[in-house]
């Protein structure tokens, strides 16, 4: 399972980052190589789609995001699928 937040934090050269305390803002270009990716995050976060289209699915349901859309993703397990390449800007809110 893909650990979304840890992958971003571990690669500051690959994901431009701005950090302030426990908050992180990064520009994330989705690296999906398959149609769907299961993932986990120990932190809740917001996602703002700059371009492309993305589907997020969790226990709460499925949300389709397009350029200009924003969503709050609760910590825990989720699944995402890429309809077309999407560039995401995701402020990640860490829980203590």
For residue 88, the model assigns a pLDDT of 64
SS3 89: strand
pLDDT digits (tens, 9 = 90+) for 23-58: 888 877 766 566 677 888 888 888 888 877 778 777
Return the CATH number at 38.
2.60.120.10
- Look up residue 91 and give its DSSP letter: E
Domain span at residue 38?
A: 2-93
pLDDT digits (tens, 9 = 90+) for 81-94: 766 566 666 555 55
pLDDT category, 7, cuts 50, 70, 90?
confident
Q: How far apart are CA 83 and CA 80, in angstroms?
A: 10
Q: How many domains does the structure of the chain reveal?
A: 1
Pairing state of beta strands 61-66 and 36-41?
A: unpaired
For residue 12, the model assigns a pLDDT of 84
């Amino acid at each position: 399972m893909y650990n979304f937040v840890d992958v971003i934090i571990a690669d500051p050269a690959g994901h431009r980052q701005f950090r302030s305390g426990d908050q992180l803002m990064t520009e994330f270009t989705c690296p999906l190589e398959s149609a769907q990716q299961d993932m986990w995050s120990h932190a809740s976060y917001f996602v703002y789609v700059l371009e492309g289209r993305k589907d997020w699915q969790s226990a709460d349901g499925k949300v389709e995001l397009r350029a200009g859309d924003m969503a709050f993703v609760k910590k825990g397990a989720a699944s995402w699928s890429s309809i077309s390449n999407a560039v995401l800007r995701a402020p990640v809110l860490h829980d203590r």
